[in-house]
Structure 1
């Protein structure tokens, strides 16, 4: 037979094979029969007796197979077709699946109805049911390189999981509600089978990836790669890659329709150092909702979290343990159909250690001290710190930058003006956190008033450099440098000058000033400065009086 004839034959057989699939696997979906019917592939050169001899406990089981499949003499069967055989009549060994990983609340309902919490590595047997809670995920590994992901609020029952004498594997389970993702890595052999039932429909596959979403009013089937046969209400369709179908109760599967196009993945930071992490969503004309699925592996098998948002919003990751992950992005249209995934994109969360928290001094303070001490908190997994001291909030004009092992610092002597400080924590493995929020303060200049000399008759007006707009001043004049004998103690002067009304006799005095921002923020006194009051020079009147007095004394 040449290639053209073979292709023509395969094209003619495709509708027939789909019909055979429906006859072989269709069972009423309201309940599972106690003795499940297993699809058995008919290979070339096989008859009923050979089939029973090879796969069943007794050769006479060929009669049971004929009755179930409504075969009549001469009991002809078509090669490459499928017959239904009761599980109890087949020679088989029961296999088990493995709960490889799980997140959140996952329970197992045993065959006796007892509910027990699931654990990573639990072996799952036919008859058991796996239930995932809110925000819970389960990754299940089947024999023969088959994988299944259960998403939150899903319920799945294993009907049978068997290996036949020809080393083929047959799996059948029911998705009662929720969402699952199936991945079959190696192409199935002709007698392998992988069937998934919902209360509404049933599927059969051969080497593919596909999703099933079972809702109250419909089941949605989406093929990602390969092909999926979907049967319901005695009718069936074949779903090729990148197409989906909806099945409603009592109705045949809807015609295949294209899935939405995948979204353009957003740009992700190399490392997210704080949570919640906000990731702007890409635009998408077809999508009503965008989905970000975060997995522990780059194959996307082990889901740890999923986040949804509208195309004009942002994904918000509110909680996720530190680690390296992978993200996959899909678009969901207004009918619930979901696109193929765009990914994997690496996603790294590192929040420990966190950026240091500065504990003192108070932000925005004004200080007269040339040096201040800054302290901050030391978090977990911190080995050292890196700090910067600058004169601008952009930290372009750096005064000092260096590492320290202690969570405190006394600055060098600084010039008056604005100053800014920030610090980062460094872990033992070299990871550097974000900067702390910058601490800013103003170092005010001390008021300067040079030593003054004046005469007793001239008005005394003192002036000094202003410290800050909101500052008031205290002024003291004393006879001694220790300011124990005060001649003037004036408080809350609102200007950087003061006219002394009190008449001071000729002599030497001492003056000091301090700035006051509030009752809690009083600056230090300046160093004492000298004020000298000289005698006035003699005028003609004073000279005449002096001459007269001298004459009287001489007489």
Structure 2
């Protein structure tokens, strides 16, 4: 089922006539005033102008002509436009999807293709999952739904009356129309076994169920006059349901669906449209069409949860969604301009990965992109939808990395998209990678030791819960050969180190509960007590093994 894009505004009230299957009365026909020429007779006029020359009798009766051979030159003969032959016109296939066949008419058996010309008598069948769009010579458009069949009954211009006649027969399924305003005397009719819809310029749809027991017309724009014994005006936003053998019923079209949240851009296919569920009328009809003129329908769905799926080229589109009533009427339209941008592909996330723990500070966000990438757009946020508290950074070049400053311990999400230039040279991004959650924890700090010396060396520093420490003492700042290398669980230690005539240096680093380690603290020279030393620099000891300290 289709809904038409019709960009031309309709400034005046556009009338249409929806009638039972009986034809229009002659009195309502538009007339062409023919001026009789010398040597004319009614037979010649009928052969020249009428679709069926035998209809001269109808013309004679209408004009009270007693003798068809005796016509006064210069007099006027009124000829119903509906009887005139006119010049055949054509239709053109604007687009098609799926299996479409021409099952009768001049082009029977030919394989339909875009741009193909169709003629009067051609009967087209679209299988389930197939659809097509036709353009008529006056600019009107016809869109045929899946599992539908129609015939181009009559496509004529009537140059003598400066008007035209279009008759289309819907044999099964549904067709939607965007009809250009018609000239005076024109007829644009869509016939089904149950009714005829005649229009002067409007947007509407006609449907016929498979058993031909019920026909529907839903009016989006314009006005329709429904005639079945008596005339009833149908305003835009209403529809007509008529079952075989029953009176037609006018019903208000269902309200337009609503979004759970608005959408402007779709980065990934398939994509389920976030529409609010309607328990009363759960069925939805959705279509995606190009913004070109004429537009082309590239996707459609009649599911309760419409899901866009490809292939659909990147670009700007118009999305139309309608609710379907229990009787089958298509409701008012929810119109949403959207952009589909599924390329270039998002980079691969390398670090941090999902659920990773990283220390606060500068957090390297690393990804793998294409070698010829022009740049990347990074985002971090505390919200998975990136709706708030979002930072972003554009990085030019093929190196896929951003060092993001994240000082507050909490959960974050990050994602990245590849950048490219459009035809105007402006940056355009592709789809983002999936949001990756990671947690920033407080980075362990390098302890600063407080040192005192009594009988032994005592070292203390500010500690943190669930933290371990590595303490090293060496005789050189490079710690090439540590004298002590201890793993400690408490922020203090009492150490026995041999005193001598040489320097000692100390450094400490901490490791938190997540296994993250700080840098070693800056090497610090220990202020050890002065002792008497031997020639090799070792401290001398007394008989009890205690260093011989030099008195202050």
Match in the other structure for 2:22: 22
Query: In 2, are the aligned partners of 1:207 and 1:226 still within 8 Å (CA)?
Result: no
Structure 1 counterpart SS, 2:177: strand
1:142 to 136, 145, 161: 136
2:426 to 403, 427, 430: 430
| Cα deviation, residue 454, structure 1 | 1.4
| Cα deviation, residue 148, structure 1 | 0.9
Query: Within 5 Å, which residues of 2 pair with 1:118-129?
Result: 118-129=112-123
Query: In 2, are the aligned partners of 1:131 and 1:154 still within 8 Å (CA)?
Result: yes
Asked if 1:187 corresponds to 2:179, the answer is no
Q: Distance in 1 between matches of 2:333 and 2:67?
A: 48
Q: Larger relative CO (CA 8 A, sep 6+): 1 or 2?
A: 2
Distance 1:299 1:75, change over 3 A: farther
1:338 to 327, 330, 338: 330
Asked if 1:359 corresponds to 2:350, the answer is yes
Asked if 1:154 corresponds to 2:153, the answer is no
| Cα deviation, residue 105, structure 1 | 1.9
Asked if 1:321 corresponds to 2:313, the answer is yes
Q: Distance in 1 between matches of 2:446 and 2:231?
A: 91
Asked if 1:246 corresponds to 2:248, the answer is no
Match in the other structure for 1:5: none
Distance 1:62 1:350, change over 3 A: same
| Cα deviation, residue 180, structure 1 | 1.0
Query: Structure 1 or 2: larger helix share?
Result: 1
| Cα deviation, residue 365, structure 1 | 4.0
1:108 to 101, 117, 132: 101
TM-score, structure 1 length as denominator?
0.65
Structure 1: segments with no counterpart, 5+ residues = 1-13, 26-38, 538-544, 547-555
User: Deviations 1:183-242 (Å, cap 9, x if unpaired)?
Assistant: 32122543x4333333554444444432112222422123442336577xxx79766334
Query: In 2, are the aligned partners of 1:415 and 1:443 still within 8 Å (CA)?
Result: no
Match in the other structure for 1:220: 216
Query: Within 5 Å, which residues of 2 pair with 1:321-470?
Result: 321-341=313-333, 343=335, 345-353=336-344, 358-362=349-353, 364-366=356-358, 374-378=365-369, 383-385=374-376, 404-409=396-401, 411=403, 426-428=419-421, 429-431=425-427, 433=429, 437=435, 441=440, 444-450=443-449, 452-455=451-454, 457-458=455-456, 460-466=457-463, 470=466
Distance 1:406 1:45, change over 3 A: closer
Query: In 2, are the aligned partners of 1:387 and 1:424 still within 8 Å (CA)?
Result: yes
| Cα deviation, residue 98, structure 1 | 0.6
User: Deviations 1:66-116 (Å, cap 9, x if unpaired)?
Assistant: 9xx9xxx9999xx9997997xxxx8554432011234x3252325489766
| Cα deviation, residue 140, structure 1 | 0.9
Structure 2 counterpart SS, 1:444: coil
Distance 1:361 1:405, change over 3 A: same
Q: Distance in 2 between matches of 1:270 and 1:463?
A: 59
Asked if 1:474 corresponds to 2:473, the answer is no
Query: In 2, are the aligned partners of 1:247 and 1:253 still within 8 Å (CA)?
Result: yes
Structure 2 counterpart SS, 1:52: helix
Query: Within 5 Å, which residues of 2 pair with 1:289-328?
Result: 289-297=283-291, 302-306=296-300, 317=308, 320-328=312-320
Q: Distance in 2 between matches of 1:352 and 1:176?
A: 42
| Cα deviation, residue 325, structure 1 | 2.4
Distance 1:253 1:299, change over 3 A: farther
Q: Distance in 1 between matches of 2:293 and 2:331?
A: 17
Match in the other structure for 1:255: 248
Q: CA RMSD in A?
A: 5.5
Query: In 2, are the aligned partners of 1:447 and 1:465 still within 8 Å (CA)?
Result: no
Q: Distance in 2 between matches of 1:395 and 1:211?
A: 43
Moved more, 443-452 or 332-341: 443-452
Distance 1:535 1:184, change over 3 A: closer
Query: In 2, are the aligned partners of 1:24 and 1:83 still within 8 Å (CA)?
Result: no
Distance 1:377 1:178, change over 3 A: farther
| Cα deviation, residue 442, structure 1 | 5.1
Structure 2: segments with no counterpart, 5+ residues = 1-15, 36-40, 69-76, 533-542, 545-552
| Cα deviation, residue 22, structure 1 | 0.6
Query: In 1, are the aligned partners of 2:127 and 2:147 still within 8 Å (CA)?
Result: yes
Structure 1 counterpart SS, 2:168: strand
Match in the other structure for 1:173: 168
Structure 2 counterpart SS, 1:227: strand
Query: In 1, are the aligned partners of 2:219 and 2:235 still within 8 Å (CA)?
Result: yes
Query: In 1, are the aligned partners of 2:471 and 2:486 still within 8 Å (CA)?
Result: yes
Structure 2 counterpart SS, 1:130: strand
TM-score, structure 2 length as denominator?
0.65
- For these two proteins, the number of residue pairs brought into alignment is 479
